[in-house]
Amino acid sequence: MFSKSCEYGIRAIIYIASENEKGEKVGISEICKNIEAPEHFTAKILQILSRNKIVSSQKGVHGGFYLDDFQKDIRLIDVVTAIDGKALFTGCGLGLKQCSEANPCPLHNKFKAIRNDIKRMLEDTSIDELARNLKKGKSVLKSIRV
């Protein structure tokens, strides 16, 4: 559903938010280790999120990524839109360019309802909420090894 970039971006921002409670900045190596993502690729994604004011960063020895008070309230839809754009909320389920209300594809009405549900879920979900669930052990960001 989300691009690989968006998946890594969501995981990274949730991890940063979960560590932010300690008041610490998180380095790229630590982020990538804890979300199982490649460093170079994730760094580029975090640059996009930084340019969009979704995450803050500080260079230097005590630098890293962090969230300010405003950023803690950012919604998941802001992360998705910054990385993947709005196509997820408008695109055709079959990838047809001419699909519309006037010329619907066979999946149009069913897919439209799903798209709207996904958009609503992303609008209703804050990064802070997801980070709190992670800290409480209610969710994970890495594969569970058995």
- Number of domains comprising the chain: 1
d(CA 35, CA 9): 10
Calculate the CA 139 to chain-centre distance. 15
Q: What is the mean pLDDT of residues 27-33?
A: 96
List, in order, residues 6 or more apart from 138 with CB less than 8 Å away.
none
Confirm whether 141 is domain-assigned: no
Encoded amino acid at 57, one letter? S
3-state secondary structure of 2: coil
- For residue 61, pLDDT over 90 is answered with no
pLDDT of residue 144: 66
Mean per-residue pLDDT of the chain: 92
Confirm whether 25 is domain-assigned: yes
Confirm whether 142 is domain-assigned: no
What CATH number corresponds to the domain at position 47? 1.10.10.10
3-state secondary structure of 57: strand
Q: Structural domain of residue 113, as residue ranges?
A: 4-135
Confirm whether 143 is domain-assigned: no
